[in-house]
Amino acid sequence: MPLVSALPLLQAAREGRHAVGAFNAQNLEFVQGILAAAEALDSPVILQLSARTIQYGGMATLTAMARAAAQEARVPVALHLDMAGFEMNVRALAAGFTSVMVAGSNQPFAMHVEETHRVVEVAHALQVPVEGELGLLGETGRDLQTARRLDPDLVRKFVTLSGVDALAVPPARIQSSPDAAPHLDRDRLRAIVDTCGVPIILHHASQLEDSELSAAIAVGVAKVAIGTELMAAFTRAVREASLRDPDEIDPRVLLAAGRSAIRDLVTSRIRLFGSAGKATLAGMKILA
């Protein structure tokens, strides 16, 4: 089926108290593994391509691959640009992405609002939703305490001024004592969810235990982005396959092991997020 807009998927998830998995794809085997898992569990899914992945593989090539895979899929598939600036967002919109995201929360607040709003104006003219972000530090950022400083009033102000359709935040974690392990700050996350008025997306989710992810979804997180965890699983599987048979020279054999690892991991994440069995297109806007 054609690519779908991500926004109805997020809205349905927020209302149904489950989350849609957004999985970063790096190559063909990632796409195949992600969609195989979604189809097996009858789940909607969001394919994410980051700016760095696009720089490596090419916008036209990767978009065509994702669109062709979605056309053959039996479940709703949205194509999302993950963490990019204005120019990359405009290119993605022209290429046919059905969701985009503006990076830049490390900028001064006013500048970040202005940059995000510029993308919103272009994307909304094409009826494509825009995901904003606050408190994130890029693809390699790991400041789990940042979300503690996200004042819900500031979140609401950013959403209002920028006009975004969804907002990505890092997991808010607190430490009850110097010797205690950090745990999810449910109250802070719930306040952000209740305040901003748009679906909330959780980034850096691979750093959370499954119980914390379930708790985040229970308070209203509508999308969970998974990237690093997938790369680790894929690379480990390919490496192990090569070690098992050092004489194997067919890359398809080795890459198939990575594809299976992606499928298995995405299957477990979809089940955890609660989106299995929810691949309905009722009320969803389809984009060609």
Which residues are part of the catalytic machinery?
82
CA-to-CA distance for 284 and 150, rounded, in angstroms?
31
CA-to-CA distance for 24 and 215, rounded, in angstroms?
23
Tokens of 209: 């235990």
How long is the chain?
Answer: 288
CA-to-CA distance for 259 and 28, rounded, in angstroms?
9
3-state secondary structure of 49: strand
Please enumerate in sequence order all residues whose Cβ is within 8 A of that of 102, keeping only pairs 6 or more positions apart, or say none: 84, 85, 86, 89, 115, 116, 119, 130, 131, 132, 133, 164
Helices (H), 41-183: 51-57, 59-72, 86-95, 109-125, 152-162
**Beta strand pairing call for 221-226 and 20-24:** parallel
The C-alpha R_g of the chain, in whole angstroms, comes to 18
Strand ranges (E), the chain: 20-24, 45-50, 77-82, 100-101, 130-133, 166-169, 173-174, 183-184, 200-202, 221-226
CA-to-CA distance for 71 and 75, rounded, in angstroms?
10
Question: 276 phi and psi, to 5 degrees?
Answer: -60, 135
